[in-house]
Amino acid sequence: MKKLLRSKTDRKLAGVLGGLANYMGMDSTLLRVIFVIIAILTSGFPLLVTYLILVFIMPNEGDTYS
């Protein structure tokens, strides 16, 4: 079973988009481009809030205890 984790190796800021791309099985660069396009179209605020929430909710890749 896949877990939604922030990436430690594929990160630009906090690893949220790298972790989401890994979870969804897509290229992280493509997800980052989609993120920027949607941020431009929505003035950025909703995605910024969502990103910040995910930074605090998603555990790091090496910090999981299972």
> 52 Cβ partners below 8 Å, 6+ apart?
none
* Confidence (pLDDT) at 65: 60
Residue 66, in any domain of the structure? no
* Confidence (pLDDT) at 11: 84
pLDDT single digits (tens) 30-60: 999 999 999 999 988 889 999 999 999 998 8
Single-letter code of the amino acid located at 62? G
Residue 64, in any domain of the structure? no
Residue 53, in any domain of the structure? yes
Rounded Cα distance, 48 and 65, in Å: 28
Rounded Cα distance, 63 and 54, in Å: 15
Whether residue 19 is predicted with pLDDT greater than 60 in this model: the reply is: yes
Whether residue 6 is predicted with pLDDT greater than 80 in this model: the reply is: yes
Residue 54, in any domain of the structure? yes
- Residue 60's φ and ψ, nearest 5 degrees, are -70, 160
* Confidence (pLDDT) at 60: 87
**What is the domain range of residue 47?**
22-58
